[in-house]
Amino acid sequence: MSFLRASHCASRLGRQGSHRAFATSARHLAEEVRIVEVGPRDGLQNEKNTVPLKTKLELIGRLAKTGVRDIEAGAFVAPKWVPQMANSAEVLNYILGQPPPTPYPIAYNFLVPNLKGLENFIKASGKASQSDGEPAPITSSQNPTPQWKPPSLSNPGQQEVTASNTSTQDPNEMPSTTSRVDGPLGQAKTPLSFSTEISLFAAATEAFSKANTNCSIAESLERCKPIVSLAKSRNIRVRGYVSVALGCPYEGPDVPPFKVAEITATLLEMGVDEVSVADTTGMGTAPRTQELLKALSAAGIASKDLALHFHDTYGQALVNAVVGLEHGIRTFDSAVGGLGGCPFSKGATGNVATEDLVYCLHSLGVKTGVDVAQMAEIGAWITNELGRANDSRAGKALLANKSL
């Protein structure tokens, strides 16, 4: 990246001052961290057996009651490439028509890999314009899926959860609000109990970009521009991903940090609200995570505009997350039960388990607002539903201790 490019990015985003080392003073200030739960999308997309719609909806409904503020709910992708996401329009219709009970506002994110995906999302969400300029309701004929009655998400008699953990003695207390939260926790925006947004992606290596999107990195970034433009014209928040930032299944572990920084800067410059830098293969180590974060900072990219997304293939996800924490990152992606994998990265195991990440953060005195005990129960339930192993060590330990 040229010095001029880096300077322009620094001017646009604003350089932040030097960050405190989290291991010392920040412990006592109970830093707040935002957890983006990716289980219903990134966690399920690689499952070999079809996941019933009812199971997806119940998973989202249960997660909504744990205190998480962001949930990846689906993807508007071609079913032939990712069959598990074929019913994402139905998932979105359910959320719009009957939002799951939640103690806090939630942003539901849907991946759109191209302009067609965004157009389908807009139609399904009722954001398409009618002739009079008013938004089309979700029952409109413009909706690609008919109105339907969603299956029950809870057991009979189960009541709506309210924000009850308001004691100032609770180390994980979060501010109560009925608004969409953007940026630092507690900064309220649109007065809704939920919002919907989109995400798009680019890859950090040419080989992965070719395999995943059938185009070069430069071409994929050009494809992102009209997506961002259309989303912004509809007031839709956009999240970006940079895949294989710490290792590629085709080019190996040595992905140039400056390249990741350049792609991240390009996404932010075109209007993306936040970029999640992803260790898709789980090849990342603490030293290389540190090197990458230094490169991002040197490019003038503010920590507040970044998230980190770790897979736990080699058991390094929590270590890498703590490195990110020490560098000022306050948004992390994770999946309940360690669900996940990448259909375009053979051998990559699941995302870091939400239970493990939250347990680790809480042990450091960090606020997340997430009920780790509830999350552990969900992890056990969904992995049993899928017929797969529960990959959360903290979750299994918490449940074992509860049964004593």
Q: Which of 90, 84, 44 is nearest to 63 (CA)?
A: 44
Strand (E) or helix (H) holding 90: helix 88-97
**Whole-number Å distance between alpha carbons of 268 and 19:** 21
What tokens appear for 200 in the block? 């798009």
- Name, in order, each residue with C-beta under 8 angstroms of 379's C-beta and a sequence gap of 6 or more: 336, 337, 338, 353, 354, 355, 390, 392, 395
**Whole-number Å distance between alpha carbons of 241 and 110:** 12
Distances (CA, A) of 325 to 226, 230, 243, 321: 33, 33, 20, 6
- Name, in order, each residue with C-beta under 8 angstroms of 185's C-beta and a sequence gap of 6 or more: 32, 34, 69, 174, 175, 367, 369
**Whole-number Å distance between alpha carbons of 154 and 151:** 9
What string of DSSP letters covers 233-290?
A: HTT--EEEEEETTT-BTTTBS---HHHHHHHHHHHHHTT-SEEEEEETTS---HHHHH
- Give the strand pairing for 331-334 and 106-111: unpaired
**Whole-number Å distance between alpha carbons of 34 and 21:** 19
- 9, 224, 248, 342: the active-site residue: 342
Biggest distance spanned by C-alpha atoms of the chain: 63
Q: What is the DSSP letter of 14?
A: -
- Name, in order, each residue with C-beta under 8 angstroms of 65's C-beta and a sequence gap of 6 or more: 100, 101, 102, 103, 161, 374
**Residue-wise burial string across 348-368, b where 16 or more C-beta atoms lie within 10 A, e elsewhere:** bbbbbbbbbbbbbbbeeebbb
Q: Is 215 noted as a catalytic residue in this protein? A: no
Provide the sign of the torsion angle of the four alpha carbons 393, 398, 400, 401, taken in this order: positive
**Which residues are known to be catalytic?**
342
